[in-house]
Amino acid sequence: MLLYLIIGIVISFGVMTVGPLVIFGFLLIPAITARMITRGILPFCIVSSVIGTAASFIGFYISYRFDLPTGPTDIAILSIILVLLYLGKISIRLKR
């Protein structure tokens, strides 16, 4: 019960601080992406964390380099990763 309370507080403060796009993007997109390429819960957690962290660093670098807003850039990077993996998965299925 305490875990749900803490998660709710963190999400609500995050939405107020950085906005709903960034918070819900970082909650959903890495999980959706990891779900497409993993089967177990441990690989799912690890891959999801790696995707979120990598997209965060890449998005921060791109936003700094090209003077773009950080939040939408991070979400754009996550979306690009999701679309590329989805297209890769479809192309692998079509080749079989």
Structural domain boundaries in the chain: 2-95
DSSP alpha helices (H): ranges in 19-40?
Answer: 20-37
pTM equals: 0.87
Q: What is the CA radius of gyration of the chain?
A: 15
Rounded distance between C-alpha atoms, residue 48 and residue 42, angstroms: 10
Rounded distance between C-alpha atoms, residue 54 and residue 82, angstroms: 13
Nearest C-alpha neighbor of 19 from the set 78, 82, 69: 69
DSSP tag of 8: H
Q: How many residues does the chain have?
A: 96
Q: Determine the pLDDT at residue 22.
A: 94
36-93, pLDDT tens digit by residue? 999 999 999 999 999 999 999 999 999 999 999 999 999 999 999 999 999 999 999 9
